[in-house]
Amino acid sequence: MNDIQRHPGRFALNIAEAERILRVAAQKEPQNAEVLTCLGAVLSDAGKHPEATQVLRAAIGVGSQDRNTYFNLGVALINSADHEEAMSYFRRASGLRSSPNTWEAYFDPQAH
């Protein structure tokens, strides 16, 4: 049993705190693609897929070539029912490297 299973209420608190911290960082550094990529992952994990899509598109707009940016955008889009566009971002992600400073949004391919 993992920590989320033992303490399910902590997930909501932790994801909200991560979102708060990353929003502050994004306000201070709005051109920081790594911060935007991480914020997009957190928003997607929180179920805020339309907002995650906007943030991740902003990361791409400032020049992100991070695999996690493109993968996370694919996750946000597929969870927003835009499967065709999501697949194009998953394909793009497959040809890129992940930054060690970012992470992937949670994605269960069996659910789609």
**110 within a domain of the structure (yes/no):** no
Domain that holds residue 9: 3-103
Give the lowest-confidence range in 20-24, 80-84, 95-99, 107-111. 107-111
H or E element, residue 14: helix 8-28
H or E element, residue 6: helix 3-6
**12 within a domain of the structure (yes/no):** yes
Q: Calculate mean pLDDT across residues 92-96.
A: 96
**26 within a domain of the structure (yes/no):** yes
Q: Is the pLDDT of residue 2 over 50?
A: no
Contact between residue 38 and residue 15 where contact means Cβ atoms under 8 Å apart: no
**111 within a domain of the structure (yes/no):** no
**95 within a domain of the structure (yes/no):** yes
Residue with tokens 């902590």: 10
**108 within a domain of the structure (yes/no):** no
Number of domains within the chain: 1
**112 within a domain of the structure (yes/no):** no
pTM: 0.88
pLDDT in tens, 37-84: 999 999 999 999 999 999 999 999 999 999 999 999 999 999 988 899
**32 within a domain of the structure (yes/no):** yes
Contact between residue 40 and residue 79 where contact means Cβ atoms under 8 Å apart: no
Instruction: Kindly report the CATH number assigned to the domain that includes residue 22.
Output: 1.25.40.10
DSSP secondary structure string for all residues of 53-105: HHHHHHHHHTT---HHHHHHHHHHHHTTT-HHHHHHHHHHHHTSPPPTT--PP
Sign of the alpha-carbon torsion through 74, 35, 23, 58: negative
